[in-house]
Amino acid sequence: MSAHPHVFPQPIEGEPRDAASVVLLREAPAGGLEVFMLRRGGSTTVMNDAYVFPGGKVDPEDSAPERLAGLGLPGAAEHLIGEPELGAERAAAMFVAACRETFEETGVQVRAADLIPLSRWITPKVPAMMRKRFDTRFFIATLPADAREAVHDGQEADASAWFSPREALERYRDREIALAPPQIMTLAGLVAMRNVDHLRSVMSGHRPRLVEPLSVQVGEHRVMCLPGDPRHPVPERVIAGPTCLIYRNDRFEPDGGFEQFFAIESPV
């Protein structure tokens, strides 16, 4: 497995870069959900060899008036994304970037109006995996009925697959694929979802949660603390599941064992 964290004692200077990522879902032939994931090629500089959801940085062009026009969102972008303080233009650019990156990386065109904001993850100031910081908004989208098969682009990604959330986590547990904490926790929240309609029902009225992990060194291990963990400055949980992931045995693990990932009842 790759995507090894390194100990960087100095915090990363500067503000994190805006990014958008799409959890692209479909109904599995035998029932249940499947999620499309890409493996970042070894030549990339972020998350080498890890499986991720389609996505990437918000480009300045994503705020161009011609791209913002006609998004067809069912409300103000900044309120849909749960951040009124963000401003209309910057919030709308997140939707544009999510659609653009999904098309560029998978060939699938999703509509901004069909994106459901799920969560916001901000890379820790003291890094656990890389010396780059991102402020990433995660969206959920269903594979359009008329879409052709999703495929990886062969440049930024060198492999791709549809996984059930449980299968992806089991393959991670069995060291067959690499995952990072945002993908791990997002997949864990989807395990109990029966189908797309069930997920949409659960997500109804959901306000996206801010997850700002705190990376700390505990003995010989790097620990990724999430809100609700005693070592995190935010005392309340914001997502279900374990409140910390420990980097040991060459991967991030919940302290109570991998079965914790399969006991989460909701992604929100």
Would you kindly state where each structural domain of the chain is located, as residue ranges?
Answer: 17-211
CA 239 to chain centre: 13
Amino acid (one-letter) located at 53:
F
Residue 11: the pLDDT is: 64
What b/e sequence results for 19-39 when a residue is b if at least 16 CB atoms lie within 10 Å of its CB, and e otherwise?
Answer: bbbbbbbbeeeeebbbbbbbb
Return the CATH number of 17-211, one of 3.60.70.12, 3.90.1210.10, 1.10.10.10, 3.90.79.10.
3.90.79.10
Instruction: For the full predicted model, state whether its pTM sits above 0.85.
Output: yes
Residue 268: the pLDDT is: 76
Low-confidence ranges of the chain (pLDDT < 50): 1-8
